[in-house]
Structures are given as C-alpha cells and as structure tokens.
Structure 1
Amino acid sequence: MEYKKVVKYIEIKNDIIEAIKAGTLQPGDKIDSESVIKKRYNVSTITVRKAFTDLINEGYLYGKQGVGTFVAKRQMVRGLTSISFSDELVQQGYKIDMKVVGVKVIQDEGITQTLGIDLDSKITCVERIRLANDEPIAYQTSYVSADLLGVKDAESLKDTKSFYKTLADVGVVPRWANENYSIKEITDKAVADYMNVKKGASSFFVKRFAYNNQDEMVEYSETYFNKDWYSVTVNIKI
C-alpha cells in the first residue's frame, strides 16, 4: 500500500513538471485543486499535498492562501561550474540573448587600480542587458584595458552576443574568475528601467575578477541580477 502511494506521488510530480517544461502550464497558471487531482489519480489528500509541497520547495509552484496553487516563474540556478554564465543557462535549456547598451572608453583611477594597470590608462567599458527567454535578467558592465580590447573590437559584441567570444577574438582568454556576491539596491533609474524593475529594488550584485593563465586580471565586471530570476547553488564536499 505504501509503495503505491509513493508511485502516485511521484507520478503527480512528474506530470506537473513535464507540463511546465512543455509549456502546457505557464508561469502564473493555476494548478488544478487538490480535490480534482485526488479524483484524477485516485489518491488521498496527503499524497496530493506531498506532491505540491515538494514542487513548491523545488521552485516549480507557489501557493496563495485561500486562492490556490500556481506555477512559479522559473529561476536560473547558477552552479558555478563554468566561467561562462551563458553556457550554464544554455545547459539549463534557456534561450539567451543580450542587448548592448553602450561601448565607450573611460578613465577611472579606481577601475585601473582594480585591474592593476597604470592609473592614466584608458579602459574600454561595455554595458549590456542579459536576457533569458526574452526577459531581462541582468545588467552587466565590464571593464577591460583599452590596450587589450579597443572600442572597435568591443563593438563586435553586437554580432557575437558573447563578451568572452569577443575577447577571444583579440587573443584575450579568461581562464578563471573570483566573484563577490552581495545584495544591493538598484538606485540608477536607467538600470532599473532596463531590468524592468522599480528603482530601489533589491538585486544580487556580483563583482567578477577574471584572470588569464598567467594569473593576470583581464576583466573586472559588475552585474545586477534580478533576484526573482537568479539563485546560486554551491556543492561542498566534507
């Protein structure tokens, strides 16, 4: 008897997950009520609630008290398994894109100190919006020495749609990176508008320091991630 309950519980979960992945159930859609699912699968209330609870905990569904259970907006899980954020999203089945906001040369002592180059050096600054399934998920600004990446070369990002591909085309290949995560409000209205959130909204703020094989820093970047779309998973061995 217990075995049958486990099978039905898994069947309910799998059927809902498959419907979400197939697009039959979209974010915001209401899931059939417990009573409907009980009759459909010929199971108890406990079995249905177990399936719903797990799906909520796993981020597939969310509940509204007194209203019902709905399909949640799917979060992107960063496993930190690749230096390329885009590669991880593609592996998770997302359609990715980007829009270049601006490419310019600047001089900034703070950035040059971070990059470890001469204080009077020129820096190529590239600002872009990252999209997943056509929705804005991040606003990203990268800084690279203009000696490594000139404005003309950086403009090719509009065609390559990959900052690291653009760097590779000029012989700059980041091999590893250090990232610092914090929570930060988006105080720049333009950035908030690009991300389709309200000014003052909280975001995951990530500082990235990317290095080549010689352990020389080749890129410094700052990224605002929409917290409703983004999460990070870290595996730890003991």
Structure 2
Amino acid sequence: MIKKNFPIPIYYQIIELIQEQIEKGELKPGDSLPSEREFAEKYQISRMTVRQAFTQLVNNGYLHRLQGKGTFVAEQKIEQTLHGLTSFTEDMIARGMEPGSELIHFEIIPATSQIARQLAIKEYGPVYEMKRIRLADDVPMALETNYISANLIKGLTEQIVNQSLYAYIENQLNFRIDHASQIIESSVANQMESQHLHIQKGAPVMRIQRNTFLQNGTPVELVKSSYRADRYKFMIQMKR
C-alpha cells in the first residue's frame, strides 16, 4: 500500500512494494508490470514518480525494459561469496543449479611473456588455452579463458575440461589447490562476449582475473572471465 502522507518518499515506497512482491514470489521472472500510466492511475500518483521508481529497480537488476513491449521482472542474480576458493561447478551445485560448460576452444600454445610471468614458466613454454561458456541451468553466465602450464598439469583433454578441471587436478593428479587472488572490474561486453553470453554488445559485464596457486605456492592457473552483470553478483563479508 502506498501512503502519501508518510515520511518515506513515494517512489521509494514503490521500490519496496515491488521488491517485496518479487522476493515473496508474487511477481516471478518474466512477469510483466503495469504500464507507468496504469500504475500511476491505480495509486493516484504522478507518472514521473512511477518512472523514477521503475528506473531505479531496472538499475538494481530487479526489472528490465523491452523497447515497445513494457517492463518485466528480471531473472534474479546468482550471488557468489568471495571468502572461499571454489570452482564454478561447485558454486552452482551448492545453489541447487545444474552446472554446465560449452568448450569453444582448446589447444596448446606457446606462452606469451605475460602468461609466462603469471604462471612462473619460461616464455614460449607450452600452455593449455581453453575458452568455455559457463552455464547454470543451461543459461550462459560467463565466458572464461584458462591458461595452464602443460608441463605441470599433464594429460588434459577436452573431455576432462568439459567436466571439472579442479576435480581432475586434485583427485587424479593429487595436487592440492590452496589459494587464489582475484581482480574484479566493471566493463562492457565486446562482440565475442555478446555472442556467447546472449547479451547486447555494450551491456555491462564483470571482468575477473584469477591467479590460482598450489599448496607449495606454484601458480597452477590463470583465468580471465567475463560474467554477465545482469545475472551475477559478488558478496564479501568483512570483519573489523
């Protein structure tokens, strides 16, 4: 219920009302909302106020607009915590989702100077380069490029990569993956990301570089990923 004689601004009450309906499941992903005019007439408020609330909900990822069709409830974002080192497969299983990968590139290449430095190997040394589309319930979530030393992690095949890379490294090769560092920055989708993630070119993405290390400090993996900003968010807990 919208209360006009209330200290909380009306546009913010609209935001809270719609967010609550989404969180309770009264509004589901894909459901259409009334037009700004219909919403304004229903609650006897200005269309400008409704537009302000809808725009904020779009910016916050609760709604999305389709040109000429209206405003709809968006798919809710997957939340990943940043206080532990887990694989994409482990993250999706923990959320009750079906993880998947579509391998679009796999070959051994000579390491560039930058890749060699990140993996602590000689320049031009052999590295696996693999590009995968990471899926959750068959929906593209991320475009991921991995670089791994072929002299360290031996025997990788397309079949292994299509399953769980971390499981192979730890269970089959008996290496212990210990820690990683990550850099996260915002960007916009290029043509390749647009094509493989099913988003518009220029749509917001989160670019992540992860350097993963074994227990003895040896770099085992360099990963460069682009995550859909409309479907993914990261959460970190901090203690003083």
Distance 2:202 2:22 in 1: 35
Distance of 1:178 and 1:13 partners within structure 2: 34
With over 3 angstroms needed to count, the CA separation of the structure-2 counterparts of 1:70 and 1:227, relative to structure 1, is same
The alignment-based identity, stated in percent, is 22
Q: How far did residue 149 of structure 1 move?
A: 2.6
Rounded Cα–Cα distance in structure 1 between residues aligned with 2:211 and 2:234: 18
Which stretch of structure 1 is more off in the superposition, 67-76 or 137-146?
67-76
SS in 2 for 1:206: strand
Change (3 A) 1:81 1:87: farther
Residue 42 of structure 2 corresponds to which residue in structure 1? Answer: none
TM-score, normalised to structure 1's length? Answer: 0.71
CA distance in 2, matches of 1:201, 1:68: 19
Kindly indicate whether the alpha-carbon contact (under 8 Å) linking 1:17 and 1:60 is maintained by their aligned counterparts in 2. no
Aligned to 1:208, what secondary structure does the other structure show? strand
Structure 2 unmatched ranges of 5 or more:
1-17, 40-52
How far does residue 123 in structure 1 lie from its aligned partner after superposition? 0.6
Q: What are the residue-to-residue correspondences of 1:180-195 with 2, within 5 Å?
A: 180-187=183-190, 189-195=191-197
Q: In the aligned structure 1, how far is the partner of 2:217 from the partner of 2:28?
A: 45
1:106 matched residue in structure 2: 109
Corresponding residue number in structure 1 for 2:199 = 197
The 1:203–1:17 alpha-carbon spacing in structure 2 relative to 1, beyond 3 Å, is: closer
Aligned-partner Cα distance in 1 for 2:83–2:232: 15
d(CA) in 2 for partners of 1:120 and 1:159? 26
Correspondent of 1:139 among 137, 143, 151: 143
2:208 maps to 206
* TM-score, normalised with respect to structure 2: 0.70
Whether 1:19 and 2:20 are equivalent positions in the alignment is no
Q: Name the SS for the 1:164 alignment partner.
A: helix
Match of residue 174 from structure 2: 171
Q: CA deviation at 1:166?
A: 2.8
Coordinate RMSD, CA, aligned: 3.5
Cα distance in 1 for partners of 2:61, 2:226 equals: 24
Maintained 8 Å contact 1:27/1:71: yes
Q: How far 1:217 sits from its partner (Å)?
A: 0.9
Deviation at 1:159, TM superposition (A): 4.9
Greater percentage in helix: 1
Query: What is the CA distance between 1:177 and its match in structure 2?
Result: 0.7
Change (3 A) 1:135 1:106: same
**Is the 2:64–2:74 contact (alpha carbons within 8 Å) kept by the matching residues of 1?**
no
The answer to whether structure 1 residue 122 and structure 2 residue 126 are counterparts is yes
Residue 204 (structure 1) shift: 0.4
* Change beyond 3 A, Cα 1:205–1:105: same
Q: Deviations over 1:198-236 (max 9, x none)?
A: 334331000000011111111111000011111111111
For structure 1, the residue ranges without an aligned partner over 5 or more in a row are 1-11, 35-51
Aligned equivalents of 2:141, 2:28: Cα separation in 1: 18
Question: How far does residue 110 in structure 1 lie from its aligned partner after superposition?
Answer: 1.4
